[in-house]
Structure 1
Amino acid sequence: MSIQAYQNNSVETASPGELTLMLYNGCIKFIRAGKKSLENKDYAKKNEVLQKAQAIIRELMVTMNQDYAVADEVLPLYEYMLRRLIEANTQNDMEVLDEVEKLVTEFRDTWKQVLIQSRKAQYGTGGTA
């Protein structure tokens, strides 16, 4: 099985919670690639990967379940991260990229803990995310 086929299969068989974790990880990956491209003064590549990070934040925003009260707290943070990513991209601002990477990493780590706790509750085991 090729890496691409494995990745496609992983996405197709992932739970919604695992897909969200993959989105966070992808966003972090693209922000880091943007930082590296900015360091290398490869502005076209920086723009390309930071637009992918922005698209992931947008996807997280539109797929958020509005039925939960936490959505009212999380959506403004997603909007903030999106706005800051756009600013960092247009102004070539490494500090802003560091800030957003830190925020996305905190969201990812929190989400990972939520998945672990829900698996423990569901299966009575420690399972890993």
Structure 2
Amino acid sequence: MESREVYGQQHIVPGNSGAGAYARVGLESGVMSADPHQLIVLLFDGAESCIRNARIHVEMGAIAERGRSISRAVDIINQGLLAALDMERGGEISANLARIYDYIIRLLLEANVRVDVTLLDQAEHLLQEISSAWRELAVTLRKE
């Protein structure tokens, strides 16, 4: 398996190098044309991808890459998902999401210290639950 750096983050790229270039162009195009709901989905996808990469790096014994993947996931959650919360308009929902994001960050940091894949799994599961609800909301809003 080939490993490539994309936007400062090591990613596992299956197959040939053309796949990595295609993925980078697809990501850039997606961000440039995304609406606010889609941007949040891209943040969830990015954080989940970083967690999956961290899990692979744990299995490979790649300590530095594991740390970078986890740090990138934490950055996406902190600077993307948490920063996007509107605490005034979002009220209790935003406050609850902030607490969950904080918990996910703590899980990720602990997973890095302990080299514990089960903590990565928990963090990814929580993100997937929120991401799924967010995607359903976007579909519902488009129907209205």
What residue number does 2:50 align with? 30
Q: Which has the higher contact order (CA 8 A, sep 6+)?
A: 1
More strand by share: 2
Spell out, residue by residue over 1:45-75, the C-alpha distance to the aligned partner (whole angstroms, 9 max, x if none).
Answer: 1011111101111021112111112101111
Given the two structures, how large is their TM-score scaled by the length of structure 2?
0.79
What residue number does 2:129 align with? 106
Report the residue type matching 2:84 in the other structure: T
Q: CA RMSD in A?
A: 1.2
Is residue 2:109 matched to residue 1:86?
yes
3-state SS, counterpart of residue 41 of structure 2: helix
Is residue 2:66 matched to residue 1:43?
no
Identity between Structure 1 and Structure 2 (%): 25
Given the two structures, how large is their TM-score scaled by the length of structure 1?
0.88
Aligned structure 1 segments of 4 or more residues deviating by more than 2 angstroms: 2-7
What residue number does 2:83 align with? 62
Runs of 5+ unmatched residues, structure 2: 1-20
What residue number does 1:10 align with? 30
CA apart distance, 1:6: 3.9
Runs of 5+ unmatched residues, structure 1: 122-129
